Amino acid sequence: INRPIVVMYQFYLSKLEDEIEDKDRRWPNGFTVEEFYKLVNRLYVFDICLGNDDNAQAIFESINATGLALADSDKIRNFVLLNVPREEQGRRFKDYWNPTEKVFAEKEKGAMDTFFRYYLMMQCEDDEVKETQVYAKFKDYWNGEVGEAKTADEILERIKRFADVYSNLLWPKLEEHSPLGQILFRMYIPEYMGIPTLFLMSAKVYCEKHYKDSAKDEFVKVLKIVESFLFRRFICECPSNTHTRIFVDLLRDVRKRLEEPGGAHSYADCVAEALESLTGAYRFPRDAEFREALQTRQIYSLRSSVRNYLLARLEEGEGQEGERFADVYKRLRLPQNDKMRYTIEHVMPQTLNEKWRNALGSDAEDVHAKYLHVLGNLTLTAYNSNYSNRPFAEKLRIHKHGLAYSSIKLNKYFHDKYFHDPDIENAKWGKEEIVQRGEELADIAVKLWPWFGKAEMSEPSVNEVVECSLSEKKILTGCKILAFRFHDRQESVNAWRAMYQSVFTQLYAELGDDLKLARASISWITTEKPEGDDYLRLSGALYVVRVRTISVEEMLKRLRRLFNFLEISLDDLEFTVKRTSLDNEEAEEDDEEGEPLESDRAEAADNGELF
């Protein structure tokens, strides 16, 4: 009978029938009887009953020698090694698979499986490679590549090359203070930075192939763009579940741009152009949105890794070589009893005492609730226990350790404003000061995490008529609106408020249910009728509050936030504006003279009133 199990039985039987040397009870191959007995007792036999429709090969592929489920990387190894002659198996293992496996030898469990998922996304430009599909996708990829333009060796060499690149990105072995080492150290601190690895693998290999001696410089430019893109999106609360698709699409987009005649000339330029073109939930937040989010988000409530990353980067500032960031970040993570440890200080303390309540005034509790954890109220110190909830003037003047005497850059605001102030004993810290310092830190952040798209449009000269979109905030300052276009509908208006009403009316007509959902996240959309007459009624049970007493800037901020919530591109709303000789305040006063809102007319009619 020539069946594999019988052949195997006869092989072992022939070995056991060899004569045993009487002196030491050993077989010629060196095993003693006792050792062989122990070995047999460790042998497990798995009896798997298969039905007529079961795929024996698929079941065999899914279990390892202990009968446990194989990892995807194990299945891939068996697939590329077991279906070839023994000599070829050995060569493939020695030349390709073993070096690849060593890259992940001391990494966390599943690291190699994750690499193959990202590798397949990159090679197939497919964002739908789910964790449960890695092995099946790999077989399709292998079978499609081998036998066409590439050999098995070429694919295995590519896998080995990208495994090295992947490892150097996630676990860099570079000097910490080299430009590449600095940015890689920064980028993988926040947990959300993991997704772009699939794109960065491709970018690094491309740069090494096409830029030779300047490859590192070009790749550093790419990393800076991606770092800024991801951090701005995180701060602006853009959905992170879009990142896989963004970076898979970016592979295709950059490749096309590189092939375009007369297009961007460098890889980094192509990346910047491609990210600039994204809109809605995929957008690269511009300066106005980034500034606002930085100043208003509860920064202290963010994950500690992101919070420390932000403050360490602000402390490092512009034009540094990277040492300061690494030093500050590491000191923020030292044990609590370490004298070198930095901590985050709330200038307005987390617990208000009577002196602080008196200093903040009648709305102390509201100010405390709203501004306690914002960026403008946070700083770094090595003397947190000295500050506690002391009055602000004391925090400034504590001998040698006061905020006004600090050498920490984040405390420069306190030094510049109060160090030479003869009235320092009466120094105040409240809403206005927190907002002012937040604005200054936001100015620094915009430079540290720049928007790499084209420069924002400058303001038009007086009486110049220009067109711009909702995303181009600066150009609207001090401008009179003449018309707007939204979703291919154009309308002439003589006031910003009329545009505001019309856009809401159109949004409700197109997205009524989604607009109702927005009220859960946006406080100025409500189903309860507001008091007074400062509101816009969209339907019998949906209102927009405060439409008369807000500035043009506030209207546009609201629209930006709502568009982002609804995943509508800011570029979908376009304005025709004219720069007037009026300053911004006068322009807004002039806007109040427009016609009454249609909903105001409806409300008046309901109440028997006339305008």
Amino acid 595: pLDDT:
42
The Cα–Cα gap between 348 and 388 comes to 10
pLDDT in tens, 53-65: 766 666 666 665 5
Which of 181, 456, 446, 186 shows the shortest CA–CA distance to 318? Answer: 446
Q: Collect all residues with Cβ–Cβ distance below 8 Å to 36 and sequence separation of at least 6.
A: 16, 27
pLDDT in tens, 526-542: 888 888 887 888 876 78
> Is residue 172 packed enough to be buried (19+ CB in 10 Å), middle (13-18) or exposed (0-12)?
middle
DSSP state of 255: H
574-593 average pLDDT score? 58
Phi, psi of 492 (to 5 degrees): -85, 135
DSSP state of 362: T
Amino acid 55: pLDDT:
66
The Cα–Cα gap between 465 and 580 comes to 10
Q: Collect all residues with Cβ–Cβ distance below 8 Å to 70 and sequence separation of at least 6.
A: 61, 62, 63, 64, 78
The Cα–Cα gap between 202 and 124 comes to 12
Range scoring the smallest mean pLDDT among 92-101, 516-525, 580-589: 580-589
Q: Which of 26-35, 205-214, 474-483 has the highest mean pLDDT?
A: 205-214
- Ramachandran assignment for 152, one of left (phi > 0), alpha (psi -120 to 50 degrees), beta (any other): alpha
Are 192 and 151 in contact, with CB atoms under 8 Å apart?
Answer: no
The Cα–Cα gap between 23 and 598 comes to 110
Range scoring the smallest mean pLDDT among 434-443, 449-458, 555-564: 449-458
Q: Is 253 helix (H, G, I), strand (E, B) or coil?
A: helix
pTM of the model: 0.66
Residue with the larger pLDDT of the pair 193 and 153: 153
Are 62 and 69 in contact, with CB atoms under 8 Å apart?
Answer: yes
74-101 average pLDDT score? 89
Percent of the residues in the chain that have a pLDDT greater than 90, as a whole number: 28
Q: Collect all residues with Cβ–Cβ distance below 8 Å to 574 and sequence separation of at least 6.
A: 467, 468, 469, 470, 484, 485, 486
Are 484 and 499 in contact, with CB atoms under 8 Å apart?
Answer: yes
Q: Is pLDDT of 147 > 90? A: no
The Cα–Cα gap between 287 and 471 comes to 10
Q: Is pLDDT of 131 > 90? A: no
Q: Is 318 helix (H, G, I), strand (E, B) or coil?
A: coil
Q: Is 26 helix (H, G, I), strand (E, B) or coil?
A: strand
Band (245; pLDDT cuts 50, 70, 90): confident
CA of 129: how far to CAs of 62, 248, 336, in Å? 19, 11, 43
Which of 127, 220, 109 shows the shortest CA–CA distance to 174? Answer: 220
For residue 173, give both structure tokens. Answer: 């072995």
